[in-house]
Amino acid sequence: MENNYKTPGQRLSALLEQKGWTKRVLAVVLNMNEPTVNKLAADKQRFTAEIAISLEEVLGEPADSFLELQKSFDLAMARIKAIPNPGQAVRAHLFSKLPISEMIKRGWLDAENIKDIKNIEIGLCSFFGVNQVEEIEILPYAAKKTEVALDTTPIQLAWLYRVKQIADEMIAPRCSAQSVKAAIEKLKPLRISAEATRKVPRILAESGIRFIVVESLPSAKIDGVCMWLDEFSPVIGMTLRFDRIDNFWFVLRHELEHILCEHGKTKICIDTELVEENTGTGGNIPEEERVANLAATEFIAPQKKIDAFIARKAPAFSERDLIGFSKTIGVHPGLIVGQLQYRTNRYNIFRKHLEKIRSHVCPSAVVDGWGNIAPIDY
């Protein structure tokens, strides 16, 4: 029999007609009351697995065919009755793109848990500064879009928003190129030890730079950001995700160069995976990043002196040579180690000198993360 029926009741009626049976006859054969058979034929009663098997026995039609038609019929009826709910699609997009659980845990959203949908949506509107969830910029059709120099993921964008929220609450003097240059000169002597980095936040604040440490979000891979609140109010945000002295100074000086060059004024400069080849100055690196990398590398240690040291000592670098050279140029040995590892591709040497930095920097900085929640007045 040709398979052109849309409902199980239609197929049952066609089979009865082909066999020359009435519904009453079928009711007698199945030992079923006649009203039930009438409802089945009219699709007013569902075809269960038991009924489908009984019909298979007496009509020779596979039970599967009745059940497949019933399934399709149920879905079609559900679609007719369903009330369109575009909010579900919006919610699905937000929950799939943003780390909602982590944002609740970090205190960025005022909601009890992932099931607290109402407060999550209210919190997201406050967090992204919009009136309704449909306007949140990670949605494809949202009108508002943050200008960022590089493509960013929704997770990275959420981190950027947090940095800006905190920066908006901070008070700092007017910044200038002169004040930034003066700050850099004050920072140079601090490269000698991890403990000295506790002075970094104060020096930056006095120069007019809002310096913020915000713990990274899962899979964000952000190292730092340079943005401006206005013409004279730059912001540096860092994650300290590697918690190493060499990485700290490289990223910080990188962001300071962005400020000196006024990068980030029209489009936010976000720096992700600022390691290995991304710290270089080759032609594959965007010009703004190349300039910042060059300044950061030179700040870590004068490159001509590094070149000469490697030329003299390679391939065997001794602990004594490392310590002596770092003292000569006035920097922590870990800064030299980072350069040696990168330049020689030997990432196993002198690892003990890559001292952790977060415990020294954070106590005197504005911090959000690792159990700390920066106060925000939404």
Higher pLDDT, 163 or 280: 163
* Adjacency order of strands within the sheet including 210-214: 269-272, 222-228, 234-238, 210-214, 366-368
Mean pLDDT of 127-140: 89
d(CA 226, CA 212): 11
Please report where in the chains the tokens 């140029």 appear, as a residue: 329
Cβ burial, residue 318 (10 Å; 0-12/13-18/19+): exposed
pLDDT of 348 reads 86
Residue 278 has pLDDT above 90, yes or no: no
Higher pLDDT, 284 or 99: 99
Under DSSP, is residue 7 helix (H, G, I), strand (E, B) or coil? coil
d(CA 287, CA 79): 54
Taking the CA atoms of 203, 207, 210 and 216 in sequence, report the sign of the dihedral they define.
Answer: negative
pLDDT of 89 reads 84
pLDDT in tens, 218-227: 999 999 999 9
d(CA 213, CA 367): 5
Domains of the chain as residue ranges with CATH: 8-81 (1.10.260.40), 86-135 (no CATH), 154-368 (no CATH)
* Cα atoms in the 13 Å half-sphere on the side-chain side of 94: 27
pLDDT of 138 reads 86
pLDDT of 277 reads 66
Residue 147's pLDDT band, with cuts at 50, 70 and 90, is confident
Residue 3 has pLDDT above 70, yes or no: no
Residue 150's pLDDT band, with cuts at 50, 70 and 90, is confident
Residue 148 has pLDDT above 90, yes or no: no
Least confident among 5-19, 96-110, 117-131, 340-354: 340-354
pLDDT of 39 reads 96
Q: How many CB atoms lie within 10 A of CB 88?
A: 9
* Cα atoms in the 13 Å half-sphere on the side-chain side of 349: 20
pLDDT of 168 reads 96
pLDDT of 343 reads 84
Mean pLDDT of 309-335: 92
pLDDT of 377 reads 74
Please give the backbone phi and psi of residue 224, each rounded to the nearest 5 degrees, phi first. -165, 175
pLDDT in tens, 48-82: 999 999 999 999 999 999 999 999 999 999 888 87
Q: Cα dist. 262→203, 233, 331, 377 in Å?
A: 19, 11, 28, 28
pLDDT in tens, 292-302: 999 999 999 99
**What mean pLDDT is reported for the chain?**
92
Mean pLDDT of 293-322: 92
Residue 144 has pLDDT above 90, yes or no: no
pTM recorded for the entire structure: 0.80
β partners of residue 196: none
Residue 97's pLDDT band, with cuts at 50, 70 and 90, is very high
d(CA 293, CA 287): 10
Least confident among 30-44, 137-151, 171-185, 358-372: 137-151
- DSSP, residue by residue, 290-310: HHHHHHHHHHHS-HHHHHHHH
Mean pLDDT of 314-330: 92
pLDDT in tens, 223-275: 999 999 999 999 999 999 999 999 999 999 999 999 999 999 999 999 998 87
pLDDT of 1 reads 46
